[in-house]
Structures are given as C-alpha cells and as structure tokens.
Amino acid sequence: MTFHDLVQHGVQFGDAQGADYIELRYVQSVVEGYSTRNGEIISAGTTETAGIGIRALANGGIGFVSTARLKKEEIERAVKTAIGLAQTSKRKTPLVLSEEPTVQTRWEVPVKIPFADVSSETKLNRVFEVDKTLTSTFNSDTLPFRLVILALETSKKLITNNEGTQVESDYSLGRYLAMLTAKGNKDIEQRMISRGSTGGWEWFADPQFIQNFVDEAQDAKSVADNAKAMTFDKPVDFIVGPEVAGIISHENCGHPSEADRIQGREGMNAGESFWMDIDVGTTRVGSPAVTVIDDPTIPKSGGFYLYDDEGVQARPRYLIKEGIANEMFHDRLSAGRVGVKSNGSSRATNYNREPIPRMANTYIAPGDYSKEELVEDIKFGIYMKSFTEWNIDDRRYQSKYVGSYARLIRDGEVTDTFVRRPVLELTSRGLFDAVDACSKGFTADQAICGKSDPSQGIPVWTAGPDAMRLRAIRVGGVPT
C-alpha cells in the first residue's frame, strides 16, 4: 500500500472502530548534518525517518500512537491502540476539538536547488570555506574555537482526518548554527549564531552566507578587545537591535500567548503563563509602540508553513496590538476548550510527536523611524545589538538578557566605548512598557524553539526592526 492508501485506510478503520475523531499524519523526513570544529570535520550523517502519527479522540480522551512500520495490519493495531488509550483516560471534562472547515489541498516550499541535487562534497566544502575565511580574516589565535554546523531538512507530509481534511506538503529548510570564541586584549567572548531559510541550496550559495560569519566574528572580537564593565547608578535608555528585539518577541510575548500554557496543559514542563491573569483583547501589556506579530506565511522564512499539522490554514497572528494583548496561539484542542476557532498554530516536529500550539515567525512590528532618529533622542544610553545569556521564568514574566555587542550612546551618537555585558533583567510588563519607539527594518534569526515533553525543538524565526528603544531602564547585574 502507498502511504496515501495507508493513511486513508487508517482513518476509515478508526472511524469504524468508533473514534469521535481520528487523524493520521504521515511524515517522511530527511535531515542531513555536517559539523566542523576548527576546520576539521567532527560529525556528518543523515537521519531518515518515515512514519505515521495517529491521534484519536474517544470518550473525551486523547490517545496518540506512532509507528514506522508502514503495513496495513500495523496501522490497524496502532489505530486500535490509540483509541484504547484515549478511552482509558477517563476524563471528567471531555476534550473537544474546535470545528474547522475541511480542506483538500497541497502546499510546498519553493525550491530552486534541491538539497538532494547537491553533492555532500559541495555541502562540506561550504562549511570548510567558512572556517578558511574566518582563519584568513582573523587567525586561529583570535578565534581559538570555531564550531560550525550545517543542517538540511526536507520532508513530505500528508495529514488526513475523518472529517475529510487532506493536506499534503513538501518542505525544505536550510540552516546553520555556529559557536565562535573570540580572544581579545581584554577578554574572551563566545558568540552563538543561527540563521536559516526555507528553500533549497540556493540560500547557502549566496555570498552573504560566508560574510555573516565574518561580521559576527568581528563583533565578538571587538567586544573581547574593548568591552569595559560599567555600573549605572541611574536609569538609562536602551536601543536594542533586531536580534534582541526578536528574542524578546519570542520569550516575553510569543510563549506567554500560547493557549495551551494559558490553559495549564504545559504546567509540568514548559510552564504556564502570566497571560492566565489578563483579559486577552483588553488588557494592556505594553506601551502603544509595541505590536508583536507571528506570521507563518512569510515566504522563505524559517518558520514557514501554509497549513498547520491539523490541516488548518495559517495566517498572521497579532499577539500584541499597540500594547494590548490581542490574540493567543490556538490549535484545535485549545480552541475547542474555550469555544473559539483555531488560528492554525498546531505544529509537531515529526510523525512521532503530538501537534501542539507553536510559534512560527514572531517579530516586533517595525515603526516609521530610522535607527539614527531613535539614537539621536538619547542623551545617555546603551546600544545593545546582540545578546549572550538569556532566560525567563516559566510564567514568562521575569526575563533576563545579557548584552554581547553593546556600546555607549552619548548625546545622540553611538560612541566607540564598549560596555561589557549590560543586563536587561526586567518583567515582561516592565520591558514592554518601557518601549517608546521602533524603527523601520526587519532582520530575522533562525532559532529552535523548545517546548513540551518529549521536547519538540521546532524551527522558528525571531525577528525585529533595526532598532527598538526602551526608556529609563535600571540596568541589572550581579550584586556585590
């Protein structure tokens, strides 16, 4: 039987077995990885998987079974087991899914050069080129540790359920991760970078691919050469770059607006949310200068998709609109619990994971200013272009971002004085309230968003404008 026949049969079989809802999601995936350390290969390989994830709703409970044994009898066993597991849950409050239009469609990531058409030598040489360029531009004493990882992922997916939905897709994502350690006159600075794009090998072939590494290494070297620890007795203004604005949009807005967290479903691991305590639609969670959007439909983006893993059409989500909490991420399960519609946020990392509400491409919406206009209004402040360490509590309210490339602003100009590791340790409300303006521009970093148990590290973009200004921030730091 083909995978089309198998999922169709599984849905019909589950329907006949009495499932209130049955969904089969076939995913065939190839992930290829190449890693070098200081120009020497330390890891290469391919992980190929193909299997079907089965989710059944019965007696108000949900059962999930996955199998990579793609035979008719095995699918029947798995479907029966999923229904059985759902029935044993014995819930007092039955789970329901939101009602959504059924669709029969297909979508794909446009690809110019498929990864499969490029030899492994070419792929690996591209990684070696990065290291050669770095060592010829700097030298290995300046960059004693250089770790570069290239990851190429393609997948084919078919989602079918007993309501008649059938969505097929072809997906392709290229990304890289790197950890660069720069040794300077004063210090050592470690820089983690990650970029990615849906599409094919054409993205890696772009000359900017190599230049990004050189720029990042130069930033790390500048910090290691020049950064001075400073204390700030009075509040100062901050300009943060797109990397910092992007992580803020993800951590302080994206995660707390996930409906499953708000409903308590992630209480054990990823946690709950301070959005449990607010009225979405009316509560102010930031200044009017703050609008945060998540849009899976951005072409070439790292979190791109057109239909989610429940077959619901994707669309932009306006999470915060001019400072007001506006919308949560819903899948059909979280939407069904509160009687609303899904906004197409359901994602799973592979066939063997349940789909749950996830971010895609989350960003602080740009404003009308230029970066220079935002800087020129600052008498004394800090320009924080990038960050190193960060974390946030599991209610997504107590956040910390430690600056990496950071320079002092005086009298409307970014000076040559580097500030060593300035700390933004702020509540989500304290942070978003302090934003008074955003500039034009849009730059994205590729990230892996972690959530759930077993953990599902899913590709997303975190993005922001060229500059976001925060007024009167009390700089954090370790007490002495």
Shortest CB 136 distance to other proteins, Å: 19
- Range in contact with other proteins (rule: CB under 8 A) among 8-16, 34-42, 284-292, 341-349: 34-42
Shortest CB 186 distance to other proteins, Å: 13
**Closer residue to other proteins (CB): 307 or 387:** 387
**Of these, 82, 239, 259, 444, which contacts other proteins (CB under 8 A)?**
82
Q: How many residues line the site for other proteins (CB under 8 A)? A: 101
- Range in contact with other proteins (rule: CB under 8 A) among 5-13, 240-248, 289-297, 423-431: 423-431
**Among 287, 299, 313, which residue's Cα sits nearest to residue 361?**
299
Q: Is 115 within 8 Å of 154 (Cβ atoms)?
A: yes
Q: Does the footprint of other proteins cover residue 338 (CB under 8 A)?
A: no
- Range in contact with other proteins (rule: CB under 8 A) among 56-64, 207-215, 282-290, 304-312: 56-64
Neighbours of 303 (CB within 10 A): 29
Q: Does the footprint of other proteins cover residue 7 (CB under 8 A)?
A: no
**Closer residue to other proteins (CB): 277 or 376:** 277
Neighbours of 117 (CB within 10 A): 11
Q: Does the footprint of other proteins cover residue 473 (CB under 8 A)?
A: yes
Query: Which is it for strands 104-108 and 166-183: parallel, antiparallel or unpaired?
Result: parallel
- DSSP per position, 149-167: EEEEEEEEEEEEETTS-EE
**Closer residue to other proteins (CB): 150 or 375:** 150
**Of these, 152, 159, 227, 449, which contacts other proteins (CB under 8 A)?**
152
**Of these, 1, 5, 47, 288, which contacts other proteins (CB under 8 A)?**
47
Task: Report in angstroms the alpha-carbon separations of 268 from 29, 61, 147, 451, 454.
Answer: 29, 19, 34, 11, 12
The whole-angstrom separation of Cα 200 and Cα 117 is 10
Q: Does the footprint of other proteins cover residue 425 (CB under 8 A)?
A: yes
Query: C-alpha dihedral over 443, 445, 446, 448, to 10 degrees?
Result: -130
Q: Does the footprint of other proteins cover residue 182 (CB under 8 A)?
A: no
Q: Does the footprint of other proteins cover residue 96 (CB under 8 A)?
A: no
Q: Which pair of structure tokens corresponds to residue 197?
A: 């794009």
The partner residues of 152 in beta bridges, in order of sequence, read 32, 174
Q: Does the footprint of other proteins cover residue 440 (CB under 8 A)?
A: no
**Among 1, 8, 63, 53, which residue's Cα sits nearest to residue 29?**
53
Shortest CB 187 distance to other proteins, Å: 9
Q: Does the footprint of other proteins cover residue 114 (CB under 8 A)?
A: no
Q: Does the footprint of other proteins cover residue 388 (CB under 8 A)?
A: yes
- Range in contact with other proteins (rule: CB under 8 A) among 181-189, 200-208, 308-316, 410-418: 181-189
Q: Does the footprint of other proteins cover residue 139 (CB under 8 A)?
A: no
**Closer residue to other proteins (CB): 27 or 314:** 27
Q: Is 7 within 8 Å of 165 (Cβ atoms)?
A: no
**Closer residue to other proteins (CB): 85 or 306:** 85
Residue type, 335: A
Q: Is 257 within 8 Å of 359 (Cβ atoms)?
A: no
Shortest CB 325 distance to other proteins, Å: 16
- DSSP per position, 375-433: HHT-SEEEEE--EEEEEE-TTS-EEEEEESSEEEEETTEEEEEEBS--EEEEEHHHHHH
**Within 13 Å of residue 384, how many CA atoms lie on the same side as its CB?**
29
**Closer residue to other proteins (CB): 48 or 368:** 48
**Of these, 61, 256, 336, 422, which contacts other proteins (CB under 8 A)?**
61
Q: Does the footprint of other proteins cover residue 234 (CB under 8 A)?
A: no
